[in-house]
């Protein structure tokens, strides 16, 4: 297919735009008592992935976060996108 400055708006070769809604996530941490990974926090990020909040699964309160990745790293957990 020759290069063209005009793009077909229905082309299957164009990337879909990023979702314009928040993304939910879980953070799993290692439980030494059961020797398994367990969900410890759940949260949501802003549509651009920067900023958001996280809450513990068991407990109260919340954390204001810069990103889901940095939060998971800070608590030595594994990030799971939902």
Give how many domains the chain has, as a whole number: 1
Tell me: pLDDT of 12 over 80. Answer: no
Whether residue 18 lies inside any domain: the answer is: no
The whole domain housing 33 covers 23-81
User: Which pLDDT tens digit goes with each residue over 25-34?
Assistant: 999 999 999 9
Whether residue 10 lies inside any domain: the answer is: no
User: Which pLDDT tens digit goes with each residue over 28-77?
Assistant: 999 999 999 999 999 999 888 789 999 999 989 999 999 999 999 999 99
Whether residue 50 lies inside any domain: the answer is: yes
Per-residue pLDDT, averaged over 2-10, amounts to: 55
Question: What are the DSSP calls for the chain, one per residue?
Answer: ----S---TT-TTSPPPPPSS-EEEEEEEEETTTTEEEEEEEEEE-TTSS-EEEEESSSS--EEES-HHHHHHHTT-EEEE-
Whether residue 14 lies inside any domain: the answer is: no
Whether residue 6 lies inside any domain: the answer is: no
pTM above 0.85, yes or no: no
């Amino acid at each position: 297919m020759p290069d063209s400055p005009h793009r077909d708006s229905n082309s299957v070769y164009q990337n879909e735009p990023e979702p314009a809604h928040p993304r939910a996530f879980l953070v799993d941490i290692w439980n030494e008592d059961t020797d398994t990974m367990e969900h410890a926090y759940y949260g949501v990020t802003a549509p651009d992935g920067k900023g958001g909040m996280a809450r513990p699964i068991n407990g109260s309160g919340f954390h204001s976060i810069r990103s889901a990745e940095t939060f998971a790293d800070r608590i030595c957990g594994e990030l799971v996108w939902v």
